[in-house]
Amino acid sequence: MAVIVFSEEFGKEFSAIQSKADKGDGEAKHIVDLINKGVAKLYKNHEAGQKIRRSLWPATYSNKYSIDNLWRLRLDNSWRMLYTLRKERIEIRALVLDAMDHRRYDRMFGYR
């Protein structure tokens, strides 16, 4: 079982979305539910997503987080969660870097 941690940036973004959901925003509630289901999948299996080839990694993640692996977890038809796995002592930590809609994901990875 993995320990799930949000990056500082994504933690702030998730808090803002959660705040909107708490105020009744239906779209924000949907996104929060998707992310929570994704996190639950990662708790059960830290390799629940698909590994992304290094040649496709956005430089942003490589530079900012010094990652040596990058994974994509499909949350639904439109949303993706990106995470990296880190082994710390005897536990594996999944660091959630971002969650984004498919359009932003395609732009980030250069898909059309």
How confident is the model over 14-68, as pLDDT tens digits?
A: 999 999 999 999 999 999 999 999 999 999 999 999 999 999 999 988 889 989 9
Residue 70: give the domain boundaries: 3-109
Indicate yes or no: pTM above 0.85. no
Res. 92 pLDDT band, cuts 50 70 90:
low
Share of the chain above pLDDT 90, in %: 63
| Distances in whole angstroms, Cα of residue 40 to Cα of each of 22, 44, 45, 75, 107 | 20, 7, 9, 11, 27
Count of domains observed in the chain: 1
Residue 61 sits in a domain whose CATH number is 3.30.2310.20
